[in-house]
Chains A and B, each alone.
Chain A
Amino acid sequence: MRRLLGAGGAVLLGAAVIALVGVGFSAQAYSSPRGVLKATSLGMDTTCGKSLPHVTLSFATYADASGTNDAGQQVHPGGNPSWPSYGPTNVFQAPAHACVTMHITQYDSGGTLNNPVFAKVQGTVGDTESVVSSGKSISGCDGTSPLTFNGTPISAIQPCDVGHTFSLRGLPGIAPGFFVNVPLPLAGDAAGDNVGDLNTDPHQTVTFSFISGPKGTYAWNCEYPCGLSVASFGAVMGAYGYMSGYLHVV
């Protein structure tokens, strides 16, 4: 009897240890060493077409993870130098069933999407975004008109004028029909190592709103391949924390 109890106890203890390790990995997987950026409340309004709690989130895409943002803080402490990165963090938090307005400041250059579908705005209010250009502009990839925006809502950009994208979807079992895709136009020539006063660097400020889904964790990633190796989806694209992250809807 004692041996039986001992064997059973050992099995239970081992299972508990494995479960705790799994919980630890899970908690770590949805987190970021740079912390969680929580949405700021703006009260109730009809920005998203009906009366909803309205919140806002502001973050940016930087050309160099080892550089600093306009507050002088390092974008990605310990990050791989020369890799682009979202910042100040890659994990965000917003309330459920709320109108979420995001402001993304895009400082990086870019290129052509593998799949032109991601050059179109999807899932936002009116399926549009507004972009305001600042600083020195360059010509668009069609070689004629400058890549300059004045805040007028647009539904798509040229697939060859993409700096990054913000593509957001629910995890399996959470709002499977939820999908938001926002292309971020590339910035001008001076987009570089984001050191110093970034307000003088060319950048594109992209604003869009969407209605958040039910409570749960949503995953986002960039669909413009700016890495190395196969189809440019290696290196920075395959490493968590730079071009991918989570949105916790609470």
Chain B
Amino acid sequence: MSSNHNHGIHHATYESIDEEVAPGLHKQLHRQYVRGTIYVWFLLTVGGVLAGIYLTPIFMPHMNSPEGRAAVETVRVFTVAAAPVAALVCAVAIYSLINSRHRSHLDTPPVDGPPLRGNALASGAWLVVSTLLVVFLLTWGLAEWSSQQVVHADALQVNVTGQQWLWTYSYPAQTVILPGGKTLSIPKAVDATTLNLPIDVPVQFNVTSEDVTHGFYPTQLGIQGDANPGVNDVLRTTPDRLGKFVVRCSQICGLYHAYMYTQAAVVPDSTFTAWIAQGSAGQVLTSAKTTRGAR
């Protein structure tokens, strides 16, 4: 095997076509471009894994429910799992961009490389790794989803109505079981233009629309569902951290879709009780003072 240089680009010639297109694994790993790519891949993988573990929580919002925190954890896990794949793609691109760049006007276009032939080892490895990765992601997602399908018979019922371009809420007549065994009686339906929820009380949202499809998205509760006219979409969560957040619309619904958001908060039992009591006279409730903080 001999080689000649053309402005730093090595072109190797081979004794046989088979040796050219399917050199042994040992020889492949010792090719300069393969080694370089592996080094870059390793560095990017380490960076991606560390970023997934330590940076993801920094950039994700503060969540007020177990479902929300599960969503953040899922993003972290999926980022770590995807890091080697993304790193490989980036490594090949980066190494090629640097090593095979056009250096001067004297450079001649490179000759075509050897024809590609199948490599059972590479194809098989890629298939197995991809399958294992997808199965892992699927299993993780299904496990998280199934854990959120618990139905609480005594959940606080909140009817959510979307219309262009505001969310409105109605707390129907019910008896709410508060932490510690206390109960709160809501004798008749109370309407509100903001969403207040008592801490540590399971909530069931019954979501619908008066006109077009909207997306009910209480950002820091970790749940999201469509609001379709004539359909009751049920969403469940148990807020367990105090704090304010907003409810947005996640389905484009017309002119003021971007402005379709309302104030929301997870509040102590006493605050929720006092707030609901104001609605007994038929007044539409608005925002109440909340206490921000983590448990």
Contact = CB atoms under 8 A, between A and B. Distances in A.
Whether chain B is bound by chain A comes out as yes
Interface of A: 114-115, 117, 120, 122-123, 127, 155-156, 167, 169, 171-172, 176-177, 179, 181, 219, 221, 223, 225, 230-231, 233, 237-240, 244
B259 A219 contact: yes
Given A176-B261, A223-B163, A244 B256 contact: yes
Contacts of B191: 117, 120
B211 A233 contact: yes
A179 B259 contact: no
Contacts of A240: 255
B229 A177 contact: no
Interface string B69-102: 0000000000000000000000000000000000
A123 B263 CA distance: 14
Nearest to B168: A117
Interface in B79-134: none
Name the prevailing secondary structure of the A interface residues: mixed
B258 interface: yes
Contacts of A223: 163, 166
A239 B256 CA distance: 10
Interface of B: 161, 163-166, 168, 191, 193-194, 210-212, 229, 244, 246, 248, 254-256, 258-259, 261-263, 282-284, 286-287
12 contacts: A120-B282, A122-B286, A169-B166, A172-B258, A176-B244, A179-B262, A181-B193, A181-B284, A221-B165, A221-B255, A221-B256, A237-B164
A27 B255 CA distance: 17
A155 B191 CA distance: 14
Nearest to B283: A127
Contact of B284 (A120, A233, A238): A120
A177 B256 CA distance: 18
A167 B168 CA distance: 13
Contacts of B248: 172
A171 B259 contact: yes
A17 B210 CA distance: 41
Q: Which of A122, A176, A237, A238 has the most CB of B within 10 A?
A: A176
Q: Which of B166, B168, B254, B287 has the most CB of A within 10 A?
A: B166
A167 B259 CA distance: 12
A177 B286 contact: yes
A220 to B, nearest CB: 9
B284 A117 contact: yes
Given A115-B168, A233-B254, A176 B246 contact: yes
Contacts of A181: 193, 284
A122 B211 contact: no
Contacts of B286: 122-123, 177, 179
Contacts of A231: 163-164, 210-212, 229
B246 A114 contact: no
A71 to B, nearest CB: 29
Contacts of B164: 221, 225, 231, 233, 237
B210 A167 contact: no
Nearest to A240: B255
Nearest to A237: B164
Contacts of A155: 283
Contacts of A127: 283-284
A233 B287 CA distance: 27
B153 to A, nearest CB: 28
B21 to A, nearest CB: 36
A109 to B, nearest CB: 21
Contacts of B254: 233, 238
Given A122-B286, A238-B254, A172 B259 contact: yes
A123 B284 CA distance: 10
A171 B254 CA distance: 16
